[in-house]
């Protein structure tokens, strides 16, 4: 009978296991899998980031304490919607920071850390509804009905997770973009959407890394030689339609590798 206390996914004759699976299981020192998914339900004829809010995601030059708030009063510590959220990102020195925030409905709650970029944002506890009842926002400036003047990230109503196609590589790491997918859809199916993968660094220059034009379909990039994202650089997906009312989604699969690794897993 098998030993149920030991979990193995390698063969019992030999020791092979795919490297990708070992990385995903956290078995390879200094390596981490990053999966980023973004969705914009309404891309029109001006360029927009692939995220729920429309418009473009800001690229700040200084880190800020963020205000976390919801468009719904039910997203609060004892409410039926989301109660707490986790937020991950990088600070002014591009070092990784993270924390948990207890929601207070439309009233903003300040983060304990200052953030330059947000890399993760999701609901950790919820009431009887099981999902966030409103849009949960992270931003700066005056907050009106739960919406800050400058929006950095958002958890769309009912999603429990950000759908923002942006990621910033922390200091001391290099990102290797393995695959990327862009998908578009429209009611008429007769006009095209142009999608971009852009890279933004500390020099504050936004560079185009890839361009795709498609019509009610998808384009997948499989990089035999991975697209390199240096430390302190971010990648973001954006799109623009020939006509209005396009839905666009984007996905990145990144392997994050620590720049200086001592020892090995030989």
- Edge-first strand order for the sheet with 31-43 is 31-43, 246-258, 173-186, 218-229
Cα 195 to chain centroid distance, Å, stands at 17
Asked if 157 contacts 134 with a C-beta cutoff of 8 angstroms, the reply is: yes
pLDDT at 44: 94
Per-residue CA distances from 211 to 51, 221, 249 (Å)? 18, 11, 15
Closest-CA residue to 87 (of 136, 53, 35): 136
pLDDT at 261: 61
10 Å Cβ neighbour count for 67?
24
pLDDT at 27: 86
Asked if 153 contacts 167 with a C-beta cutoff of 8 angstroms, the reply is: no
10 Å Cβ neighbour count for 61?
9
User: Which residues in the chain show pLDDT less than 70?
Assistant: 1-15, 261-266
Instruction: Please report, in angstroms and rounded to a whole number, the separation of the first and last CA atoms in the chain.
Output: 31
**Contact partners, residue 85, CB within 8 Å, separation at least 6:** 68, 100, 101, 103, 121, 122, 123, 124, 136, 155
**Contact partners, residue 137, CB within 8 Å, separation at least 6:** 67, 68, 69, 70, 71, 146, 147, 148, 151, 153, 154
Residues of the chain with CATH 2.60.120: 19-57+166-258
Alpha-carbon gap, residue 260 to 237, rounded angstroms: 29
Alpha-carbon gap, residue 255 to 253, rounded angstroms: 7
Please tell me the class of the 19-57+166-258 domain. mainly beta
**Contact partners, residue 159, CB within 8 Å, separation at least 6:** 52, 131, 132
Closest-CA residue to 138 (of 99, 175, 95): 99
**pTM, 2 dp:** 0.89
Query: pLDDT for 231-257, tens place per residue?
Result: 999 999 999 999 999 999 999 999 999
Entry field: residues in the chain: 266
């Amino acid at each position: 009978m098998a030993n149920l206390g030991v979990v193995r996914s390698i063969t019992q004759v030999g020791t092979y296991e795919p490297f990708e699976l070992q990385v995903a299981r956290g078995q390879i020192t200094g390596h981490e899998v990053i999966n980023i998914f973004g969705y914009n339900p309404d891309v029109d004829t001006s360029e927009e980031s692939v995220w729920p809010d429309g418009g473009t995601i800001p690229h700040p030059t200084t880190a800020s304490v963020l205000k976390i708030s919801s468009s719904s009063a039910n997203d609060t510590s004892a409410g039926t919607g989301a109660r707490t959220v986790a937020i991950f990102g990088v600070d002014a020195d591009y070092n990784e920071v993270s924390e948990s925030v207890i929601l207070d409905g439309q009233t903003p709650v300040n983060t304990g850390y200052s953030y330059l970029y947000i890399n993760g944002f999701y609901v950790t506890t919820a009431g009887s509804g099981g999902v966030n009842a409103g849009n949960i926002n992270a931003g700066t400036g005056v907050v009106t009905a739960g919406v800050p003047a400058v929006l950095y990230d958002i958890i769309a109503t009912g999603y429990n997770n950000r759908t923002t196609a942006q990621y910033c590589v922390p200091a001391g790491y290099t990102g290797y973009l393995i695959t990327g997918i862009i998908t578009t859809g429209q009611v008429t199916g007769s006009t095209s959407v142009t999608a971009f993968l852009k890279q933004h660094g500390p020099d504050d220059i936004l560079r185009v890394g890839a361009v795709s034009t498609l019509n009610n379909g998808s384009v997948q990039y499989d990089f035999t030689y991975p697209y390199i994202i240096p430390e302190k650089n971010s990648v973001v997906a954006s799109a623009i339609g020939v006509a209005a009312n396009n839905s666009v989604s984007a996905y990145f699969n990144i392997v994050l590798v620590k720049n200086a690794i001592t020892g090995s897993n030989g």
